[in-house]
Amino acid sequence: MLRRRLRHSAAKDQHTERWLVSYADYMTIMFAFFVVLYAIAINKEESFQVLSDSLEHVFDKSARQFSQQGEGVNGNGILTDRVTPEQEVLYGESIQKQEQGPELLDGQSDTSNIQQKYLGKPLDSLLIKLQSALIDEIRDGEASLELNQDWLIIELSSGMLFSSGSSVAHSRAKQVVKIVKDIIAPVDNYVRVRGYTDDETIRNEIFRSNWELSVARATSILVELEALGINSARMAIEGYGQYSPFADNSTAEGRAENRKVVIALSKYGLPPKKEVKKGEQESEPEAVEHEVELPSDDDTIKIIRLPHGGIRITTRNEQ
């Protein structure tokens, strides 16, 4: 009887503390994880910022997709914007942004070589800021954002910006342009202002064609950005007239969709100016050469070297 009780007690006490092993492994992993996060935050603030921006972008994108799905079901989504950024189109699935692009074949223009260009601010971070700043305009259908491989495109309805057949910006347009300026002013990405129209013929005392109207409207927005302090060297104007439609011009809705001004931000930026050292500027006057008399075979002819690089031939004996 006593032997049976001892055997039952030994079997009962066997392996009763095995959960501690799994618990200890879990705590070790969690400790290592937080140590890595702490090390990144302390030693590599830029890497930590990239990680933070990437997580923010992922969660914001998930929330936007959820809201659009809800809108499709019952028509009462949280947001009604038309933002359609392509999935991981710039940097794939990596957290660290890749600045190296593909090599171009021989014979291509050097100005198109990615290695010879200066990359500006990442477009995905600008997209998030613009989504927050233009949330009212996006909801009302007056603006939309699109992100592709090389450009962040801000589409602004010409109905909000201008009167019919006019290139004079409304006060409402100036307010929206100022919102965009506050986002793009701190960065150095190139800016292209593009004008578009529908295919209805226009001919008045100001504009002879849709070409001129599209260019004039793009110029009006560019001048407004310039007046607000955007570096003029970053910007350029593009006029497409009626020849790059976004929708079918056979319907009124399609024509309204085609009348717009686009502010496009390039992934490339304006290279910083090279600073000239003070010592180099001071040494330049010393390089000016004085007149030097060169030897001549003829005793009566004098050859004098001038400071700008020319020579003077004379028979006068100048002292």
DSSP 100-158: --PPPPTTS-GGG-GGGS-B-S-HHHHHHHHHHHTHHHHHTTSEEEEE-SSEEEEEEEH
Residues 250 and 119 in one domain: yes
Residues 308 and 297 in one domain: yes
Domain that holds residue 29: 20-78
Q: Is residue 105 part of a domain?
A: no
Residues 187 and 285 in one domain: no
C-alpha 251: how far from its chain's center? 34
Residues 121 and 245 in one domain: yes
Residue with token string 């074949």? 105
To the nearest 10 degrees (0 to 180), the angle between helices 123-133 and 171-184 is 140
Residues 183 and 242 in one domain: yes
The CATH number for 200's domain is 3.30.1330.60
Q: Is residue 231 part of a domain?
A: yes
Name the pTM for this structure.
Answer: 0.52
Instruction: Going residue by residue through the chain, which has 319 residues, state the pLDDT in tens, using 9 for 90 and above.
Output: 555 555 555 555 556 677 888 888 889 999 988 888 887 777 655 666 666 777 677 667 666 655 555 544 444 444 444 444 444 444 444 444 444 544 444 444 443 444 457 888 899 999 999 999 999 999 998 899 999 888 999 999 888 888 888 888 888 889 999 999 999 999 999 999 999 999 888 877 788 899 999 999 999 999 999 999 999 999 999 999 999 899 999 998 888 888 999 999 999 999 887 766 665 555 555 544 454 444 545 556 666 777 766 676 666 665 4
Residues 173 and 39 in one domain: no
Which two tokens mark 170?
């409304």
Residues 172 and 211 in one domain: yes
